[in-house]
């Protein structure tokens, strides 16, 4: 089954097949979630090895594209359940950013991203969907920054962009 997502084509938001959006590098809406535990660590996921782009790379807690007409916050909650089996507490919208990045296999992400941050106990059970997530871990922002500098090829381009250019925006809600 092909998944249709909203994308701008010639200035008009229209439904386009997801693979085609990434192959053509079309600008499209997205959401990204960062869950933090009581110690301020970030829940990261390693993308499933079967993903058509960036398989096996580490990313933020979750991200996706909203369905047509879907509220970004509702989309963020939906995707937390679908990818990680989590019913997260309230998510805070902390801004919207836009980026364009090559993600391999002739794919380009050109996303307008609503960013969300929420809190989740590090001791809580996480039940990843194996078709979406290979593994999870909790990392402090400082450890993550160091890993991104030392081994950038292990991480998705968007996580690198978020942490290098938007960390202040993402982590401002935590004080």
Per-domain boundaries in the chain:
4-174
**pLDDT recorded at residue 124:** 83
Nearest by Cα to 70 from 82, 56, 61: 82
pLDDT at 148 over 90: yes
Cβ–Cβ under 8 Å, residues 43 and 37: yes
| Higher-pLDDT residue of 19, 46 | 46
Pick the CATH number of 4-174 from 3.10.330.10, 3.50.50.60, 3.90.79.10, 3.70.10.10: 3.90.79.10
Helices 141-150 + 157-165 axis angle, to 10: 120
Tell me 85's DSSP state: -
Q: Name the residue with higher pLDDT: 59 or 122.
A: 59
Percent of the residues in the chain that have a pLDDT greater than 70, as a whole number: 98
- pLDDT at residue 175 tops 50: no
Q: At a CB cut-off of 8 Å and minimum separation 6, what does 109 contact?
A: 22, 25, 30, 99, 100, 101, 103, 157, 158
Q: Take residue 48 and report the two structure tokens written for it.
A: 């499933």
Strands 42-47 and 92-104: unpaired
What would the mean pLDDT of 117-130 be, rounded to a whole number? 91
Average pLDDT in the chain: 93
Predicted confidence at residue 173, as pLDDT, reads 55
Looking at residue 6, its pLDDT comes to: 94
Q: What does the pLDDT average to over 26-41? A: 95
Q: Could you read off the pLDDT of 52-82 as tens digits, one per residue?
A: 889 999 999 999 999 999 999 999 999 999 9
Q: Are 60 and 88 in contact (CB under 8 A)?
A: no
Q: Once rounded to an integer, what is the mean pLDDT over residues 92-115?
A: 94
- Lowest model confidence (mean pLDDT) among 47-51, 78-82, 171-175: 171-175
Would you name the residues annotated as active-site residues? 63, 111
The confidence band for 89, taking pLDDT boundaries of 50, 70 and 90, is confident
Which pLDDT does position 105 carry in this prediction?
A: 84
Torsion of CA 166, 34, 139, 28, to 10 degrees: -60
């Amino acid at each position: 089954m092909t998944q249709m997502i909203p994308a701008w084509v010639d200035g008009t938001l229209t439904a386009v097949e997801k693979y085609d959006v990434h192959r053509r590098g079309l600008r499209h809406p997205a959401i990204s979630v960062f869950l933090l535990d009581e110690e301020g660590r970030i829940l990261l996921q390693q993308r499933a090895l079967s993903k058509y782009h960036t398989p096996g790379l580490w990313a933020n807690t979750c991200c996706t594209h909203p369905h047509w007409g879907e509220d970004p916050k509702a989309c963020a909650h939906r995707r937390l359940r679908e990818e990680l089996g989590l019913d997260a507490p309230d998510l805070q919208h902390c801004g919207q950013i836009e980026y364009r990045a090559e993600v391999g296999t002739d794919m380009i992400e050109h996303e307008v991203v609503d960013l969300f941050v929420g809190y989740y106990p590090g001791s809580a059970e996480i039940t990843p969907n194996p078709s979406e997530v290979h593994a999870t871990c909790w990392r402090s922002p400082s450890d993550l920054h160091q890993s991104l500098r030392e081994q950038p090829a292990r991480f998705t381009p968007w996580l690198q962009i978020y942490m290098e250019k938007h960390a202040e925006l993402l982590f401002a809600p935590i004080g």
